[in-house]
Amino acid sequence: MAAIKLALCITELDAGGAERCLTELAVRADRSRFAPTVYALSPRPPREEESFFPRLRAAGVEVHFLGGGSIWQFPKVVGRLTRLWRKHQPRVVQTFLFHANIVGRIAAKRAGVGPVLAGVRVAERGSRWHLRLDRATQNAVARYVCVSRSVADFTA
């Protein structure tokens, strides 16, 4: 049986908790069962040694940087990710952090891949814009992966 293609999508690979979680998941995945590939919305880190990119590369995890650095590049990043996912055909998509959650949902739907597991780390109560985007794209989510009960209650 072929390994399940797992797409892990995140905003960037700089040092942080979500980035560490994604890295651990990609590096420790049983390669006989899963074939992880990482998709970062950002450009390649200018200081690679301060990011998780070297660890992923050393573990043989394929990493794609989509070059997004501002909101104005949103359509370009969605298009790039959609094309990559149409080509790679991941069986499971897991997204981490707000921007990657939104871009990943749209790209997965356009590429016809999934299911999408959305990683939610913060209850975005203070941002109406974030809340609207989240609600508008939630139909693309099969399951939420939340860091706490309060975040899980917020996403319900």
pLDDT, one tens digit per residue, over 25-34 is 999 999 999 9
**What CATH fold (topology level) applies to the domain 4-155?**
Rossmann fold (3.40.50)
In contact, 101 and 10? CB cutoff 8 Å: no
Residue 57 has pLDDT above 80, yes or no: yes
Could you tell me which residue, 144 or 10, shows the higher pLDDT?
A: 10
User: What secondary structure does DSSP assign to 67-116, as a single string?
Assistant: ---SGGGHHHHHHHHHHHHHHH--SEEEEESHHHHHHHHHHHHHHT---E
Cα-only R_g, the chain: 15
Distance CA 41, CA 33 (A): 26
Could you tell me which residue, 83 or 71, shows the higher pLDDT?
A: 83
Residue 8 has pLDDT above 90, yes or no: yes
Residue 151 has pLDDT above 80, yes or no: no
Q: What's the token pair of residue 70?
A: 């501002």
Q: What's the token pair of residue 54?
A: 């070297």
Q: What single DSSP character describes residue 145?
A: E
Highest mean pLDDT among 15-24, 44-53, 78-87: 78-87
> What pLDDT band is residue 138 in, cutting at 50, 70 and 90?
confident
- According to the model, what pLDDT value does residue 42 have? 96
Which of 149, 94, 93, 95 has the alpha carbon at shortest distance from 123? Answer: 149
- According to the model, what pLDDT value does residue 125 have? 63
The model's pTM is 0.92
- SS (HEC) of 26-41: HHHCCCCCEEEEEEEC
Residue 148 has pLDDT above 80, yes or no: no
Which of 62, 136, 135, 139 has the alpha carbon at shortest distance from 108? Answer: 139
Distance CA 34, CA 5 (A): 6
In contact, 103 and 134? CB cutoff 8 Å: no
Could you tell me which residue, 122 or 35, shows the higher pLDDT?
A: 35
- Average pLDDT of the residues in 79-104: 97
